[in-house]
Structures are given as C-alpha cells and as structure tokens.
Amino acid sequence: MPNISADKTSLRQKGGSLNRTRFVPYLFVAPFVIFFLLVYLYPLIMTVIMSFQKIDGPNHHEFIGVKNYLKLNTRDFQMALQTSGRYAFWDVIVLTIFPLLVACVLHSGLAKGTSFFKSLFFIPSLTSIIVAGIVFRLAFGTLETATVNRVMTALGLQPVKWLSYAGPGNFVLILLTLWRWNGVNIVYYLSGLQSIPADHYEAAQIDGANAFQKFFHVTLPGIRPVLIYVITITVLGGFSMFTESVALWQQNNAGGVGRTIVGYMYMVGFKKNNLGLASAVGLVLLALVVAVNLIQLFLMGFFRKED
Amino acid sequence: MKKLLAVVLTLSLMLCAFGALAEGEPIHLTLWTFQELHTELYKTMLDKWNAEPGKPALDIDFQVFPYEDMHNKLTIALQSGEGAPDLVDIEINMFANYLKGDIGLAPMNEYVEPIADHLVMSRLNNYAKDGKYYGIDHHIGATVMFYNTSILEAAGVDYTAIKTWDDFHEAGKTVLEKTGKPMIVWESADCWSVYPMVNQHGGDWLTPDGQVRMDEPVVINTLAFMKSMLDDGTAIPCPGGWTHTEEYWGWMNGGNCAAVCMPFWYLDRFTNYMPDLAGQMKIAAMPEWSDGGHKSAQMGGTGTAVVASSANADIAKEFLAYACLSFDGCVTTWKICGFDPILKDVYGSEEMKAPNKFFEYYDQDIFSVLSEVLDDIPDTCISEYFPSATDIVKTQMAYRLVELREDPEQIARDCAEELRSLID
C-alpha cells in the first residue's frame, strides 16, 4: 500500500510539473502576444482596411478602392518623400560613422577624461527635443542677426537663410539629430568594442597590422552585429522622424522643406481630417521602411549563414 | 437578506437627498479653446450671466490646449463619438473638417436668424452648411494696413494719400530710396499675405460647389504684383517666414519696415509684442486695386460651436449667443480682445469709445477706418477642401513666389492642379 501511494504522489508531481512546463511558457509570452495583437496587429489590419475607405465621421465609412493611393501622386507627397529620403540618407551616414569614430577614440584610451566625454555626449539625449528644437530654430534664424549668421559674418561668410531651403534645412536637422542621438550610438558601439577580445588585436599586432588594418580587419568585423543594429534603427528612425522637424519648423512647412512622410501623414489625418488617405500614407511608409531595411540587412550579410 | 435590503433602501434615500440638493447646483459645462485670450471674454460674460436673475447658474470648465492638440482631440472625440466638450473654439481653417458626413455640431439658427440683419453674415457663412450656422465668430477680421509713420515721415510719404496698390508700390520705392527699408513683407510660410490680397482683388481658391479657382487671372495678376514688389526690393520675404514669429516681431519692433497688411485682430500683436512702436503705428484701409475688387478682405477667425451630443446643448447654445451675439458680449469682445465684433449695432456706440490700451497705442479713431470698409468685404469660400487649399498656399504658392521667385502663372497652374487632384 505505501508503495502505491508513493507512486500516486510522484505521478501527481510529474503531472503538475508537466502542466507547468506546458503552461508557463505561454504565460511568459502572453503579455507580449496580447500587446502585439491589440496595439500592433489590430491597428495594422484596421489601417489596411481604412486605406481603401473614405471616412467622414464614425458612421460614414465608404469603400473607394485604390483612390486614396492614387491621390498620393501629388507634388506635396513627393516633396515629403524627398525630404524623408534625403534626411534618412544623411542620418544613416552621419549617425553611423561619427559616433563610431568617437567610440573608437574613447575606447582606445588615447584621450584623457573618457568618462567625462561619455557623459558629455550622452547628456543631450536626455533633453526635450522640443526645447532643443526651439533653441536650434532661433540660433539658425533667417535674419542676419541670428546667432549662427553672426558667426558666419564674423568668419567672412555670407549669412544663410538656414530653415528656408532644403539643403541648409536638412543640414540643421542632421546637426540637431547628431547632437541628440550621438551619445546613444556611442554607448551601443562601446558595448560592441568592449566585447572584442584583446588577443585579437595582439595577434594583428604580431602579424604587423597598422592601426587602419586593425580597424578594418578586427574592429569592424568584431562589432558587426552592433553595426547592423545601429544602421537598422537609424534607417527606421530616419524615415519615421517627425518631432525634430516639427520642433524646427512648427506647423509651417514652406516649400515642404521640413515636412517628412510622417509629418505629411499627420497633416492629412488630423489637419485635413482625412483618415483614409492618412492610412494609405502610413502603409506606403511601412512598405518603404521594410524594403530599405531588407535591402540594407541583405547587403550587410544579415541573412547569410554563419561560417 | 433583510439587512441587504435595508442598506440598499438607505443608500437610495441618500442618493435622492443628494439629487434634491443637486438641483440648486450650477450646470457644469466644458469649453475647449486654443486661444487663452478668448477665455477672458467667456469668463467675463459668464460672471455677467450668473449675476442675471432668472438665468440658470452655470459653471464652465475652460480648458486651453495648444492649437494642433485641441483640434486633434476634437477630431478624435467627434470621430469616436465620445469625450467631446460642450462648447469648442474651432479655427476657421479647420472648421470645414467638422462639417463632413454626420455633423457633430449643433446649429445656432434660432439665435442667428432673428438678428441676421444686424450681423455681418458673411462671417457666419464661413461656418454654415445647408443653411445651418454651426459656428459663431468673435470678429469680422477685416484686413487693414498698419503703417509705421516714423519711417514714412522720414521718407516724406503721407500714408493717407495711398489709395491704390500702385500708389503703395510707388511709395515703397520712395521709402526704399530714402531710408533703405522695405515697404512691406510678404509671408513665404503662411497664407496671410497671399490670401487677403487675392480675396480683396476678387479671387478665391474655391467656389461653393468645389470648383478650383486658383489659376484664374485674378490670382495670377495678384501674384505678379506681389512679385514685382519683391523684384525691386520694396517687399521682402518675412523674417521667420510669417508674421507670427519671434523673429518677425523683434525685427518689426526695431523699426525695420514701413507697413504690414494684416487682419484687424493683429491689433493686439502690436500692443503685446511690438511695444516700442506705440504711437508710431497707424491703421488705414487697404489700398484698392485699380482694376476692380473690394475694399478689404475678411481673414482668419474662430467659430465657437456647441457639440450636438452635449447633454446640455440647449443651455450651451443660449450661453454662446449671450457671450458672442449680444450687444454687451460684442462690446466686451472689443474691450478684452481688441476684435472688430460681428454685431453692426456696436459701431458708433458710446461703449466702444471708452479708452483702452488699443486707443492709447494707435492714438487714432480706429473704428472710422473700419466703418469705411465694412460695406464692401467679400465672402470667403470655406468649403470641404478649404483646408487642402490653405495647405497648398502655405507650402507651395507663397513659398515659390516669395522665396523662389518663380513665374506667377506657373505657380498658380501647379497649385490649382494639385488641389484638383485632391478633390474627389
């Protein structure tokens, strides 16, 4: 008898742990799944549906086929595409290379006071982008008496109407983004650099590699996963940028200089109350970002099998 | 069970007692606005309302939001059918958005129609659809000229002698030659230069049935005139892009430009942001076009509306009419906001002549200027696609004219084509 009861207990325990093993993983992923379904998938499906509709108030949803997509063939939307494309291109170049160089200098130990500089570079990312945008907007004002134009004049250069034209406007936007996000990317790169074993550099040294060879053949391959991550989020951030341009240009976007695709979507959806067209803009943006990201990941060998 | 019943009964009795008490409580309303100045008007009128015997006591919660936020919140509240306030200030460029499909606003006809002859109805037509008036404006927004007499005197120009835009241009050449300063600025990032000029000239962006008018000769001619002033330096692009920037105010306040053409409500921008020009600025009627057109143009505005789904819509409508359509309300509007009220009866009344900061700043009979033009202000066509038209003017027409100096005819054609492509 005692044996039978012991068997029962062990069975019960076995069954309990079996149930637990089956149940617990679902429990752990449940918050993500619920969040994903409610906050990502449902809105995505609704956006697809709405992009084929004309929406006039809560009870007026009329299917209009691809009319919303055809309406994107406007100068305004093309300007928004150009602005976002131009910004994303320079954003990726500047925000990938500059923080990498700074991180390498900070990591190499060549410079003194590295902790101080790490904090200095990181502090702007803690500030409000709206406040920073207002400071930048006033500093890069159109008048000759604006701060930056005074510096330009003192250097013997012509004053520039910074925010009035696409080229200089994009420059200010990139400068603002670099100032703000440089520190964050430095932190990513530093974590990557610290994971490269020192003996790799020693081996390169013994083989007679110079500093550039070490950088291209040891450092870059060593931080490849971090590099892929940084470029991916920078592409994403570049195309979905909105706040920085609003902070610099406010609601006015003369010549579309500061109106990005998200800015265009916001304007169409809320200022023109055309949620159907705004949904179509959103989906075009999604397709664009996915395509660019896939190409970039493919080029960087993300899908290649590790040797 | 008995105990439970006793508790329920006691609670019900208490609720009834509170209900009886609540009858003496004021009716609670919520009002959203993006313009803090308006709340001063409403608060003053609310105090007067509550002091009047026979009026039900009101308690209004004034919620001030940034411009964009408030309109976004309203769009979402009306789209979803939940969370809207009882009363709301809607900016004129956004109003057409709320007149689509099932209109979520309550018509004010019962208050407007009996006094229609006394009101500047062209203002209320901006907020109307199918004969129903959904918004009450606070002002006419007649566009006038603000002249800096110090600069004009230094150049030997008498602003009262400027009768046409050609005179204005000639005066500009003299001012530029004698003082090196421009006569006027044109906005490159907003519509407050292009639209009043086109509208006064007899043009508009749309017809009431949605036909595009942007490429009509009147628009092209107006743009060509503006460009001619830019070409010889008598007009320059507005510092900061438009006349509501810190850059422009600081620059204008420094006495760097002889004039600005803006609606009457710009009165308080001078008193608030350009105090150094006190006593130097004078208001005059817009110069007229030699080939026709009108004396002025009505620009900007806010249609205050009652949300139809409000539980207290009737009382909200009564208060709105009291605050914005009554004689007292309109006089208070002038006193507090410096606006040109929409009730014609107030002009010439003693109440409007009482000294205030505006009379002190401009030191002239402001209303004589206004009465000159009141009889000839054209309607503006605020239809469903007006927000799209305004956006095209802001982002393309004004910018390409003022910053890029492109061919007016080409600009007008491109903008018209863009607007047509957005219309169903």
**Average pLDDT, rounded, for chain B:** 90
Residues of B within 8 A of A163 (CB-CB) are 241
As a whole number of angstroms, the distance between CA A110 and CA A88 comes to 32
| Contact by Cβ (8 Å): A142, A164 | yes
| Contact by Cβ (8 Å): B376, B142 | no
B375 touches chain A (CB under 8 A): no
As a whole number of angstroms, the distance between CA A298 and CA B243 comes to 49
ipTM for this prediction: 0.78
Q: Phi-psi bin for B141: left (phi > 0), alpha (psi -120 to 50), beta?
A: left
Q: Which residues contact B1 (CB under 8 A, 6 or more apart)?
A: none
Can you say how many angstroms the Cα of residue B368 is from the centroid of all Cα atoms in its chain? 21
What's the rounded mean pLDDT across residues B94-103? 86
The pair of structure tokens assigned to A245 is 């341009």
What's the rounded mean pLDDT across residues A158-179? 92
pLDDT range class, residue B112, cuts 50, 70, 90:
very high
Has residue A306 got a pLDDT over 70?
Answer: no
Helix (H) or strand (E) holding A270: none
B309 touches chain A (CB under 8 A): no
The pair of structure tokens assigned to B380 is 């503006």
Q: Which residues contact B277 (CB under 8 A, 6 or more apart)?
A: B148, B252, B253, B255, B270
What's the rounded mean pLDDT across residues B190-215? 93
What would the pLDDT profile of B130-144 be if each residue is shown by its tens digit? 999 999 999 999 999
pLDDT at position A1, please?
44
Which amino acid, residue A63?
A: F
As a whole number of angstroms, the distance between CA B228 and CA B232 comes to 7
Strands (E), B247-290: 259-263, 281-285
Is the CA virtual torsion A241, A252, A258, A250 positive or negative?
Answer: negative
The percentage of residues in chain B with a pLDDT greater than 70, rounded to a whole number, is 94
Q: Give Cα separations from A69 to B113, B166, B421 (angstroms).
A: 43, 46, 12
pLDDT at position B22, please?
45
- Which of B79, B188, B395 has its CB closest to that of A58? B79
Helix (H) or strand (E) holding B145: strand B143-148
B188 touches chain A (CB under 8 A): yes
Indicate the domain borders of chain B.
Answer: 21-135+300-361, 143-298+377-422
- The four Cα atoms B43, B46, B48, B54 give a dihedral, to 10 degrees, of -170
What's the rounded mean pLDDT across residues B179-201? 95
Residues of B within 8 A of A143 (CB-CB) are 239-240, 247, 251
pLDDT range class, residue B18, cuts 50, 70, 90:
very low
Residue B284 backbone dihedrals phi, psi, to 5 degrees: -145, 165
Its CATH architecture, for the domain B143-298+377-422, is 3-Layer(aba) Sandwich (3.40)
Closest CA to B361 of B262, B273, B281, B253: B281
A158 touches chain B (CB under 8 A): no
What's the rounded mean pLDDT across residues B39-66? 94
**Does this chain's domain B21-135+300-361 share its CATH topology with B143-298+377-422?**
yes
- The four Cα atoms B159, B160, B164, B170 give a dihedral, to 10 degrees, of -30
Residues of A within 8 A of B424 (CB-CB) are 54, 67
Residues of B within 8 A of A56 (CB-CB) are 100-102
Its CATH architecture, for the domain B21-135+300-361, is 3-Layer(aba) Sandwich (3.40)
SS3 A201: helix
- Report the gap between the CA of A221 and the closest CA in chain B (Å): 46
The percentage of residues in chain A with a pLDDT greater than 70, rounded to a whole number, is 92
pLDDT at position B19, please?
44
- Which of B80, B94, B396 has its CB closest to that of A75? B396
pLDDT range class, residue A74, cuts 50, 70, 90:
confident
Give B 395-414 residues with CB within 8 A of chain A: 395-396, 398-400, 403-404, 414
As a whole number of angstroms, the distance between CA B218 and CA B34 comes to 34
What would the pLDDT profile of A214-243 be if each residue is shown by its tens digit? 899 999 999 999 999 999 999 999 998 998
**Average pLDDT, rounded, for chain A:** 87
| Contact by Cβ (8 Å): A296, A232 | yes
pLDDT at position B355, please?
87
- Report the gap between the CA of A91 and the closest CA in chain B (Å): 24
pLDDT at position B373, please?
86
